[in-house]
Amino acid sequence: MIRTTRKAALAGLAIVGSAILLAGCGAAPEDDAPGGSAAPEPADDFLACAVSDEGSWNDKSFNEAAFAGLQQAESELGVQIDDAESASAEDFVPNLTAMVDNGCDITFAIGFNFSLGGTNGVIFDIADENPDAKFAWLDGWPGGSEDNVKPIMYATEQSSYLAGYLSAAYSTSKVVGTYGGLQIDSVTSFMDGFYQGAKKYEEESGTPVKVVGWDPATATGDFVGDFANTEEAKSISNGQLAAGADVIFPVAGGLFTATAEAIREGSDPNAVLLGVDKDIAVTQPQLADITLTSVEKRMTQAVFDIISETKDDSFTAEPYFGTLENDGTGLSDFGAFADKVPADVVTKLDELSQQITDGEIEITLTKNQG
């Protein structure tokens, strides 16, 4: 677990009457200004916290994007932050409990996996046991009677639809691929949109497009089994490249690095990948030359906004829902491929985005078992 600060420590400083918030174990700096000067104001005692999904805050993907919202709130709102990294799902309960015990004003649970374990799922069990605590759950959904858990949801099928159309238009082989970490709704929503967007291009252009790695009709496809097995992710990527795919969309957290390795070692110099969650051409600049675009969940802004609302006593359990319309999800800039995507395709993507927003295009989502 990583601790950034503690609300209890702030209370202790207030009792002592210190005018300066001490950092670590260092002594307070002396006031050397002639005639003295006013001591800095203590930081706000609002404590915003987060517990990661499996992996670190530096995963260049889902966890990191969420944690950046916490850091933004610390910088811009003056709040205190605390956090705990989860090496595995077994850490979820103790980490959430530690945040509650630490007096967090709001705690973010990062990822779908907080639905697993316990009686009703880890997040709801902890929320039920601590009705005065407030939680926000990334990739979550509304609970039954819980009024202290705010789900953060994304219509990633919308932006992935655009990514599928773009991929099919860009592809030379007209074979595009996708694979997931786990076969769960928050993963297959990306894959559903990608598939249907690619087929939209097929319909409009009259050019057949093959999608490997996912078949919504049978709910079968390529899945790693977790978000950590780089060897399996690379094997899947190699298989899709061998099947002719020259665009691959990994929906598997940081496992896009394994796909990048497969592309680098492959025989097709034109093969590219799509990023997920964050703009990986920015977070991983060494991959910019093979990253066509990324399908972003703009989690940083969502975390920041919810902290701001909670700090202003405006917290509700009403879901936050990121869409194309409110810019909660979308495609990254094309970066190194800006001059390789035809202007008519860019225009078409804008048209499709508006049609999705207006409800003229409906994207069907697969219902997974279990």
Element (H, E) at 185: helix 185-205
* Overall average pLDDT of the 255-265 stretch: 97
- The Cα 309–Cα 42 span in angstroms is 21
- pLDDT per residue as tens digits for the range 321-346: 999 998 899 999 999 999 999 999 99
The 10s digit of each residue's pLDDT in 63-88 is 898 999 999 999 999 999 999 999 99
What number of residues does the chain have? 370
Return the structure tokens found at 195.
Answer: 């598939």
Q: What was the pLDDT predicted at 42?
A: 44
Q: Compute the distance between CA of residue 258 and CA of residue 196 in angstroms, rounded to an integer.
A: 25
For the residues 112-118, what does the mean pLDDT come to?
Answer: 87
Round the average pLDDT of the chain to a whole number and report it.
88
Q: Is residue 18 over pLDDT 80? A: no
Q: What's residue 367's pLDDT?
A: 86
Using only C-alpha atoms, what is the Rg of the chain?
A: 23
Alpha-carbon dihedral of residues 299, 54, 78, 280, nearest 10 degrees? Answer: -40
Interatomic CA distance for residues 320 and 323, integer angstroms: 10
Q: Are the C-beta atoms of 89 and 117 separated by less than 8 Å?
A: yes
Confidence band (pLDDT; 50, 70, 90) for 149?
very high
Residue 128: partners with Cβ closer than 8 Å, 6 or more residues away: 120, 146
Average pLDDT over residues 3-30: 36
Residue 102 pLDDT > 60, yes or no?
yes
As a whole number, mean pLDDT of residues 181-203 equals 96
The bridge status of strand 291-297 relative to strand 272-277 is parallel
Residue 83: the pLDDT is 96
Is 139 in contact with 186 (CB distance < 8 Å)? yes
Q: pLDDT digits over 273-319, tens only?
A: 999 988 999 989 999 999 999 999 989 989 999 999 999 999 999 99
| pLDDT band, residue 31 (cuts 50/70/90) | very low
107 within 8 A of 82, measured Cβ to Cβ: no
- Whole-structure pTM value: 0.78
- Of 114, 108, 148, nearest in space to 128 by CA: 148
> What are the tens digits of pLDDT across the range 47-64?
999 999 987 888 777 889
Which pLDDT value is given to residue 369? Answer: 65
In angstroms, the CA 228 to CA 252 distance is 8
**Predicted local distance difference test score (pLDDT) of residue 74:** 97
At residue 97, does pLDDT exceed 60?
yes
Please give the average per-residue pLDDT across 122-131, as a whole number.
95
Instruction: Summarize the confidence of residues 36-44 as an average pLDDT.
Output: 46
Specify whether the CB–CB gap between 233 and 254 falls below 8 A: no
Place of tokens 């929320």: 127
What are the C-alpha distances in Å from 84 to residues 3, 54, 80, 302? 7, 11, 14, 19
pLDDT more than 70, % of the chain: 87
Q: Give yes or no for residue 2 having a pLDDT over 70.
A: no
Q: Average pLDDT in the 218-245 region?
A: 97
